[in-house]
């Protein structure tokens, strides 16, 4: 699926064209007519973009049209950026000596050459936009000039701890798993491995957290460790993670140690202790790698257990020594309860009887998947309008949910409700590996460097607005965030496996590359 932030790109281009600085530039270089025509064409296209972005999932031709439009937008951005650089260049030239002026007349940036070159580029871009705009009527799109969207908000989650009161409908699952963990081993294996399998968003990680933090489990195991594995199945890195998980911050750096040294420290960590290890979000289906890892985990006390959460039945078959626990969806009553909890928060449902009835229909369509119910509830939290609730209930995305049997369309619906500036920030994550850790300030600098942060307040610095925007977005999509480290998605893999911007076209990242000029 193409990235869905064309509205924001067009909006930025229009704002640049209407700014006072560009007014001066186009008058000075005699390209006023061309830029005015470009601005007019952009406004025509912008009017239908919001509707186009929401409908593209069900219309392949519309999706192609949007991609063509975004390619043209990047061409327009290149032209506008060239204007900005030229202005800076002219300013620098004024500070040079008079002797430089003669040589500059023959350079690639003399006014006559620049005016001719830019007039040609503007004409070419405008003609391309005109051709694209002419096709918009083929899709019967509704016009809308407001780029704002209500932002989805989900509560923050921690790494291995979770408030039991926040989890609905999993008490029975929790008790069954705890009962299995507390039983003496009967599988004849040195380490007993219990896989928890289920589709994305079903709550495997949340259930594992409930078990991990239970008091009975605390008393039964001498040592507990929690690790998110995902795609990272590098043996050396896993050993380092194990050691840090048990010892916390080490006195010395273990990253330079060889495997033998790491193994010794790891064995000292276990030292015949009965341990519980949670390997969260496991995807690797390589039997040999698991056998290698398993050998490193030997050395704990009798009755040590490992919980593996995964979507893959093959992973469960490879690793499991205890029958797999196949997690199911929530019961109907609990599904409705969870949805209403997020949709109403502290409001009384009884005050909105019509919404309650619509909510029942929405909850049923949520297929008993907790993440879906949370997203839909959060989506409607600030919208007590019956019209908005019916829009979600009657959305075309339910056809995709039934067809594809996954939660992606619901995530897409949530993504569509984000403000346009947040779509670009969110899509930016797609170029990083899953579980990449963003340290404080790093992500902000990335966004600023690529012009993804903007403020309506002239006196407000990008750093001052990033916290609200980052948390607004992270509450909507990222499931695990700490004050020290921003994790892309260590709590589950929905970000990459089912991200609305997953199909990020790296060949189209020209707007994120350094623009090169002949100066």
- Domain identity same for 243 and 391: no
Mean pLDDT calculated for residue range 343-359: 82
- Domain identity same for 83 and 142: yes
- Domain identity same for 353 and 464: no
- The confidence score (pLDDT) of residue 176 equals 95
**SS3 category, 485:** strand
- The confidence score (pLDDT) of residue 17 equals 67
186-243: per-residue pLDDT in tens?
A: 767 778 999 999 988 889 999 999 999 999 999 999 989 888 876 667 788 888 888 8
Residue 501 forms part of a structural domain: yes
Give the residue from 51, 124, 309 showing the smallest Cα distance to 204: 309
Residue 163 forms part of a structural domain: no
- Domain identity same for 200 and 312: yes
- Domain identity same for 296 and 382: no
d(CA 420, CA 144): 13
What's 193's domain CATH number? 3.40.50.300
Q: Which residues pair with 279 in a beta bridge?
A: 227, 308
Residue 152 forms part of a structural domain: no
Beta-carbon neighbour count of residue 461 at 10 Å? 11
Residue 339 forms part of a structural domain: yes
Using alpha carbons, list the distances in angstroms from residue 28 to 31, 32, 83, 107, 517.
8, 9, 11, 19, 20
d(CA 429, CA 443): 9
- Domain identity same for 60 and 132: yes
> Which spans in 110-258 are helix H?
111-134, 171-182, 204-212, 215-220, 235-247
- The confidence score (pLDDT) of residue 174 equals 95
Q: Which residues pair with 481 in a beta bridge?
A: 486
- Domain identity same for 180 and 321: yes
The HSE-up count of residue 143 (CA atoms within 13 Å, CB side) is 6
- Domain identity same for 219 and 275: yes
402-451: per-residue pLDDT in tens?
A: 555 566 666 666 666 666 666 777 777 777 776 666 665 677 777 777 77
Residue 430 forms part of a structural domain: yes
Which of 344, 375, 407 is the endpoint of a domain?
A: 407
d(CA 343, CA 261): 52
d(CA 283, CA 269): 26
Helix then strand then coil, % of the chain, to nearest 5: 60, 5, 35
Top pLDDT among 440 and 340 is at: 340
Residue 162 forms part of a structural domain: no
Give the residue from 222, 197, 230 showing the smallest Cα distance to 326: 197
Top pLDDT among 121 and 190 is at: 121
Q: Which residues constitute the domain of residue 54? A: 1-147
Q: What's this model's pTM, rounded to 2 decimal places? A: 0.59
Residues 19, 68, 400, 368: what is their CA dihedral angle, to the nearest 10 degrees?
-40
User: Is residue 263 packed enough to be buried (19+ CB in 10 Å), middle (13-18) or exposed (0-12)?
Assistant: middle
Which of 351, 378, 407 is the endpoint of a domain?
A: 407
Answer for the pair 71, 128: CB distance below 8 angstroms, yes or no: no
Residues 335, 339, 344, 348: what is their CA dihedral angle, to the nearest 10 degrees?
-20
Residue 225 in tokens: 């460790």
Q: Work out the angle at residue 315's Cα, subtended by the Cα atoms of residues 310 and 318, and round it to the nearest 5 degrees.
A: 145
- The confidence score (pLDDT) of residue 172 equals 94
Using alpha carbons, list the distances in angstroms from residue 199 to 50, 281, 426.
31, 11, 23
- The confidence score (pLDDT) of residue 276 equals 93
> Which spans in 188-326 are helix H?
204-212, 215-220, 235-247, 259-270, 287-297, 313-319
Residue 465 forms part of a structural domain: yes
d(CA 178, CA 194): 11
Judged against a pLDDT cut of 80, whether residue 325 lies above it is answered with yes
- Domain identity same for 24 and 57: yes
If you search the block for the tokens 């299995």, which residue do you land on? Answer: 180
Residue 29 in tokens: 């270089």
| Domains of the chain: total | 4
Answer for the pair 12, 73: CB distance below 8 angstroms, yes or no: no
**SS3 category, 31:** coil
In angstroms, the first-to-last Cα distance of the chain is 38
Residue 67 forms part of a structural domain: yes
Q: Identify the weakest region by mean pLDDT among 43-52, 128-137, 302-311, 406-415.
A: 406-415
- The confidence score (pLDDT) of residue 401 equals 61
If you search the block for the tokens 């449902």, which residue do you land on? Answer: 349
Top pLDDT among 383 and 29 is at: 383
- The confidence score (pLDDT) of residue 466 equals 55
- The confidence score (pLDDT) of residue 171 equals 92
- Domain identity same for 391 and 477: no
- The confidence score (pLDDT) of residue 379 equals 80
234-277: per-residue pLDDT in tens?
A: 788 888 888 877 765 444 567 778 888 888 888 888 888 899 99
d(CA 202, CA 328): 7
**SS3 category, 481:** strand
Q: Give the helix/strand (H/E) hosting 227.
A: strand 223-230
458-506: per-residue pLDDT in tens?
A: 566 655 655 554 444 444 444 433 333 333 333 334 444 444 444 434 3
- Domain identity same for 184 and 318: yes
Which of 407, 436, 454 is the endpoint of a domain?
A: 407
Mean pLDDT calculated for residue range 310-328: 92
Q: Residue 151: which pLDDT band, with cuts at 50, 70 and 90?
A: very low
If you search the block for the tokens 């918009």, which residue do you land on? Answer: 136
Answer for the pair 170, 206: CB distance below 8 angstroms, yes or no: yes
- Domain identity same for 4 and 138: yes
């Amino acid at each position: 699926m193409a990235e869905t932030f064309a509205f924001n790109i067009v909006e930025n281009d229009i704002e640049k064209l209407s700014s006072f600085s560009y007014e001066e530039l186009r008058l000075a270089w005699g390209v006023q007519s061309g830029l005015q025509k470009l601005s007019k064409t952009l406004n025509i296209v912008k009017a239908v973009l919001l509707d186009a972005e929401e409908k593209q999932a069900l219309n392949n031709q519309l999706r192609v049209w949007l991609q063509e439009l975004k390619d043209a937008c990047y061409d327009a951005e290149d032209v506008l950026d060239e204007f900005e650089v030229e202005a800076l260049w002219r300013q620098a030239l004024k500070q040079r000596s008079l002797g430089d002026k003669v040589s500059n007349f023959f350079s690639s940036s003399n006014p006559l050459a620049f005016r001719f070159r830019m007039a040609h580029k503007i004409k070419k871009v405008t003609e391309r936009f005109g051709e694209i705009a002419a096709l918009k009527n083929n899709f019967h799109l509704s016009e809308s000039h407001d780029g704002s969207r209500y932002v989805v908000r989900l509560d923050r989650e921690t790494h291995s701890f979770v408030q039991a009161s926040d989890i609905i409908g999993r008490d029975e699952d929790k008790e069954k798993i705890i009962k299995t963990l507390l039983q003496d081993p009967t599988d004849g294996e040195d380490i007993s491995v219990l896989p928890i399998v289920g589709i994305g968003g079903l709550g495997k990680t949340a259930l594992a957290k409930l078990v991990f933090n239970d008091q009975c489990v605390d008393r039964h195991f001498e040592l507990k460790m929690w690790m998110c594995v995902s795609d990272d199945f590098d043996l050396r890195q896993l050993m380092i993670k194990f050691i840090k998980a048990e010892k916390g911050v080490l006195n010395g750096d273990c990253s330079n140690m060889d495997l033998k040294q790491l193994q010794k420290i790891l064995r000292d960590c276990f030292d015949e202790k009965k341990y519980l290890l949670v390997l969260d979000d496991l995807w690797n289906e390589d039997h040999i790698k698991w056998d290698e890892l398993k050998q490193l985990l030997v050395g704990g006390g009798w009755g040590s257990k490992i919980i593996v959460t995964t979507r893959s039945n093959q992973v469960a078959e490879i690793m499991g020594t205890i029958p797999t626990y196949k997690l199911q969806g929530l019961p109907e009553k609990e599904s409705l309860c969870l949805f209403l909890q997020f949709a109403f928060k502290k409001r009384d449902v009884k005050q909105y009887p019509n919404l309650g009835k619509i909510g029942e229909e929405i909850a049923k369509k949520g297929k008993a998947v907790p993440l879906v119910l949370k997203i839909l509830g959060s989506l409607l939290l600030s919208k007590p309008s019956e019209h908005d609730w019916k829009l979600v209930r009657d959305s075309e995305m339910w056809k995709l949910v039934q067809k594809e049997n996954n939660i992606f369309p619901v995530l897409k619906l949530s993504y569509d409700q984000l403000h346009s500036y947040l779509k670009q920030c969110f899509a930016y994550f797609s170029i990083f590996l899953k579980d990449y850790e963003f340290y404080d300030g790093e992500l902000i600098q990335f966004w600023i460097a690529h012009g993804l942060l903007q403020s309506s307040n002239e006196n407000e610095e990008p750093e001052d607005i990033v916290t609200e925007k980052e948390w607004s977005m992270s509450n909507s999509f990222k499931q695990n965030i700490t004050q020290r480290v921003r994790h892309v998605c260590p709590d589950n893999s929905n970000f990459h496996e089912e991200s609305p911007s997953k199909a990020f076209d790296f060949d189209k990242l020209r707007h994120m590359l350094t623009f090169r000029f002949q100066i």
